[in-house]
Amino acid sequence: TDGLIDFAGGANLSWLELIRLMKKIYRGEHLSHPKTFSGQATEIVVRGPETSRFHLDGDLAGSLPVTFRSIPGGIKIKVPQRN
């Protein structure tokens, strides 16, 4: 792997904009929206009100602030050989 974290997000979206964007998110077409962004990094820090919650891959994961770091070699994956 390249050791980078791929991320995508949105800023200053109203509830109505977010609801309209949901279909595009599931189709992978959301990054054309002017209030969305994406990128890669070795560390991502998300700050906001401590009452704010965040989701990872669609599941509630915790409260802000939160820091994500890439740990090269942190996950070992074994792939069976093909017969």
DSSP 16-53: HHHHHHHHHHHHT-GGGSTTEEEEEESEEEE---TT-E
Number of Cβ atoms within 10 Å of the Cβ of 7? 13
Express each pLDDT in 39-60 by its tens digit.
Answer: 999 999 999 998 899 888 889 9
pTM over 0.75: no
Q: Is the pLDDT of residue 1 over 80?
A: no
pLDDT band for position 32 (50/70/90)? confident
CB 70 within 8 A of CB 43: yes
Task: Work out the mean pLDDT of the chain and round it to a whole number.
Answer: 88
Per-residue pLDDT, averaged over 19-40, amounts to 87
